[in-house]
């Protein structure tokens, strides 16, 4: 094969991250090639393997973090998104995973705090999480409920709903940052839990993807506000749109008092 063809082949293999591919054999073949440029590709494969091993270990630590609670039953992780925006609902998700992985392929790699992931990675992971989860639930409370009952109450309630409405009931619910009042289950809160706990991280991701997709739908209805880009948060462009066009039915009026007073 020509050098260019080999580079393209290696690049495609690494992008696909083929599950049963023998990367070590590929690396050895590249090293034995007489061409220096091809030999250098072996270092690329080596770095890929090292990074993958680190990622596997990182995610194992997240699964093991949850397993360390040693409950006789299922553990659910819950997290919310959309506490601070000026428009749209607050959303929470709950996820129960099979924490007793037998092989590395059973792990859901790349899971993390959803804010640390690209939109493309979040979308991909959301599908994988829903496929591999033993159970998951997504709950939301509207901007009207936020205006009538307050964001603090809604924040707790949406987390509670996500946990309570799981099809399979957990023995323990792990929440990110703070405890859930009237949860109905034993509850442990974890500071920065979406970076430590596998179940919380997965909940964080599917909640974020669900809400972002919802705000993109609203962007088609209210195109002036850029909801597909700002997800309802108070960006400069969003605030200028409110001042120019007024608020929409999905805006949180209780969050807009300072802006509306300027009109």
Annotated binding-site residues for a divalent metal cation read 79-80, 176
Q: Is the dihedral of CA 207, 213, 218, 222 positive or negative?
A: positive
Q: How far apart are CA 134 and CA 202, in angstroms?
A: 12
Q: How far apart are CA 29 and CA 197, in angstroms?
A: 39
Enter the tokens of residue 111.
Answer: 């899971």
Residues 43 and 7: beta-carbon distance below 8 Å: no
Enter the tokens of residue 16.
Answer: 């696909």
Q: How far is CA 184 from CA 94, 157, 160, 169, 180, in A?
A: 14, 12, 8, 10, 9
Residue 163 sits at the vertex; the CA angle it makes with 84 and 179, to the nearest 5 degrees, is 60
Q: How far apart are CA 32 and CA 30, in angstroms?
A: 5
Residue 158 burial by CB count (10 A; 0-12/13-18/19+): exposed, middle or buried?
Answer: buried
Annotated binding site: 79-80, 176
Residue 246 sits at the vertex; the CA angle it makes with 240 and 252, to the nearest 5 degrees, is 95
């Amino acid at each position: 094969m020509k050098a260019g063809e080999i580079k393209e082949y290696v690049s495609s293999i690494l992008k696909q991250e083929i599950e049963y591919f023998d990367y070590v054999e590929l690396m050895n073949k590249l090293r034995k090639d007489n061409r220096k440029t091809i030999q250098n590709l072996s270092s690329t494969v080596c770095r890929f393997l090292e990074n993958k091993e680190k990622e596997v270990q990182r995610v194992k630590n997240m699964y093991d973090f949850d397993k360390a609670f040693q409950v006789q039953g299922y553990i659910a992780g819950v997290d919310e998104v959309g506490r601070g925006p000026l428009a749209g609902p607050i959303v929470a998700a709950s996820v129960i995973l099979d924490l007793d992985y037998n092989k590395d392929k059973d792990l859901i790699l790349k899971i993390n705090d959803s804010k640390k992931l690209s939109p493309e990675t979040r979308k991909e992971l959301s599908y994988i999480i829903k496929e591999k989860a033993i159970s998951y639930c997504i709950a939301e409370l509207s901007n009207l409920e936020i205006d009538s009952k307050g964001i603090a109450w809604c924040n707790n309630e949406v987390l509670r709903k996500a946990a309570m409405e799981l099809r399979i009931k957990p023995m323990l619910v792990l929440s990110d940052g703070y405890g859930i009042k009237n949860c109905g289950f034993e509850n442990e809160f974890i500071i920065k839990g979406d970076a430590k706990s596998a179940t919380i991280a997965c909940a964080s991701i599917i909640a974020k993807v669900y809400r972002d997709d919802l705000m993109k739908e609203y962007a088609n209805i209210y195109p002036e506000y850029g909801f597909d880009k700002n997800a309802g948060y108070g960006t400069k462009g969003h605030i200028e749109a409110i001042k120019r066009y007024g608020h929409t039915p999905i805006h949180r009026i209780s969050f807009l008092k300072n802006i509306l007073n300027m009109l």
